[in-house]
Each structure stands twice: as structure tokens, then as C-alpha cells.
Amino acid sequence: MDEKEIKALVSLLDDEDSEVTTLVEEKIRSLGRGIIPFLETEWEESFSPIAQRRIEELIHELQVAVMIDRLTEWKNGGALDLLEGMWIVATYQYPDLDIEKLQAEIDQLRYRVWEQFEDEGTPVEQVKAMNGVFYGTLGFGANTKSFHSASNSMINVVLESRRGNPITLCAIYLLIARKLNIPVYGVNLPNLFVLTYKKDKTQFYINVFNRGIIFSKTDIDHYIAQLNLTQKESFYQPCSNLEIIQRVLRNLILSYEKAGEPEKIKELERILMSIVDDAG
């Protein structure tokens, strides 16, 4: 379709006949993500509140479809880049977010840690040095005041505010640590996401949400016992980037459950299912 045909199509969005608008919306959806900039222009130029609302809904639907496509492609490509996964999730609220901007911010944080970081010493000493910069100089910390806010799962917001939930703080900490060749990985504990330092025969755990406190396997044993749960290998060993992003999405669903937003819950459940294997 050429621009005039699309413009004529959009002009029918405020038609009083619901059958007409339904057909128009279906046709617009079929045009895919490429029509989003045009719809944004039409929204700005429209004087019809009804048309504007329908344009907003269509743009959002198309952006969700783009997000699902990106996540599926990321998963099928091996889910190699955690930052890319976190960026895709953040585009749910910030569709125009630039991944290169995020990459530059992480690189800047890595440089600031590196300036004050001694890579000599024991693994525990290295992590304590990392903690000193991450929580001290850089000022990262737990968002305990608004723990269930959806913004805690948006990496761009947490990078700006320096406050987040356990998994987003862990993701940022992990991304910086990996750039400094510190072998840390995510661990899917029930009700709490933590990191583990694991290299050769050395393994211990880091509670990033609680100022990087270091703890042991025995501490996890006690934690699992307090929750009356059966021990699982996944409570102790590194998880994949894909599992991290799946958990971020589950956190977002919980945030919108707390906020009472059923439409967003349905959307995010659909997004989550796009990267969950049938057997998973």
C-alpha cells in the first residue's frame, strides 16, 4: 500500500460502524512494524480523540509483536547477550529505548569500577572490592520503598535511579563483573535472585540486593529448609541468560498483579510463553 492508501485507511478508525473499524484495525495490524512511524505521525495530526485512542492501541499491539519477535530471535540465537535480553524487556515500557545507550552506560560503569579495582587477591577479596565501588562509589542499592514497582524490572530506570529489585541489580552487577573477568553467574533461588562466584573448585554466593553480602552453600541449605522446600540443583548452580529473562518477565507479571492491571498481565504472559519451551 502507498502512503495515500494508508492515510485513507487510518482516517476510517473513528468510523461509527464497528465492523468497518474492526476490518481497518485488522488491515493495519497486517502491515506490521513498518507502519508504526506513520501511525505516530497520524496520531499527532489527528483531531479525533477516538481515532487517537485506537491509533495508540494499534501502536502498542504492534510494539508488543516486535518485542515478541526480538525475544524469540534472541532465544533462538542462544540467548548469548544478557544485556540484549534486558533491553528487549525494557522496551515493553520504553519502545524507543536505544540498546547502544545501555551498552555505553554499562561500559562507563565498568570503567569506574576498574579505576578502583584490584584484580589481585582472593576471589572473596575481589568481590568485596567490587562491592565497595558498586554500592559505595556508584550508589546502587535495593528499592525497598517501591519493591513491586514495574520500573524495578526496567534496566534503563535502574541504571538511572540506582535502585532496583534483586534480579535487575544482579543483572547490572553481573554485566559489570563479567567485563572485569570476574566469573559470576545468576542463581534462581526461590523468592530471591542471587549471584554465585564459580571458578574451578571455588564457589560462593553474593546477595546483591543486600549490599553484596557473601554467603555459602550451607546458608542456602538453611534458607531452603526455612521455606520447607525440597533441595534442587538449580538452587545452587548457575542459571542461563534465558532463565534470567524469564524470571524478569515473571516479576513484571507480579508487579502488574499488585497494580491490578489485567490487560498488561495477559500481554506479558503471552510474551513470556514465547520464550518458554513446551516442556519447560
Query: Are residue 122 and residue 204 in the same domain, yes or no?
Result: yes
Residue 67 CB neighbours (<10 A): 20
Q: What is the mean pLDDT of the chain?
A: 92
Say what the pLDDT of residue 280 is: 39
pLDDT digits (tens, 9 = 90+) for 179-208: 999 999 999 999 999 999 999 999 999 999
Tell me, yes or no, whether 151 and 27 share the same domain. no
Q: Are residues 146 and 217 in the same domain?
A: yes
Are 160 and 229 found together in one domain?
yes
Whether 102 and 212 map to the same domain: the answer is: yes
The label of the residue with cell 504492534 reads: 62
- Do 140 and 20 lie in one domain? The reply is no
Q: What is the pLDDT of residues 210-258, one digit of tens each?
A: 999 999 999 999 999 999 999 999 999 999 999 999 999 999 999 999 9
One domain, residues 7 and 86:
no
142: which residues sit within 8 A by CB, 6+ positions away? 163, 164, 165, 166, 169, 209, 210
Same domain, 50 and 18: yes
Question: Any residues with CB less than 8 A from the CB of 109 and at least 6 apart, and which?
Answer: 138, 159, 172, 176
**Residue 250 structural domain:** 82-273
Q: In this predicted structure, what is the pLDDT of residue 279?
A: 39
Determine the average pLDDT of the residues in 59-74.
94
Shared domain for 115 and 235, answered yes or no, is yes
- pTM comes to 0.88
Report the number of distinct structural domains present in the chain.
2
Question: Mean pLDDT across the stretch 69-83?
Answer: 97
- Residues 99, 71 within the same domain: no
Residues 129 and 148 in one domain: yes
Q: Residue 279 falls within a domain, yes or no? A: no
Looking at residue 170, its amino acid is: C
Task: Answer yes or no: do 72 and 89 share one domain.
Answer: no
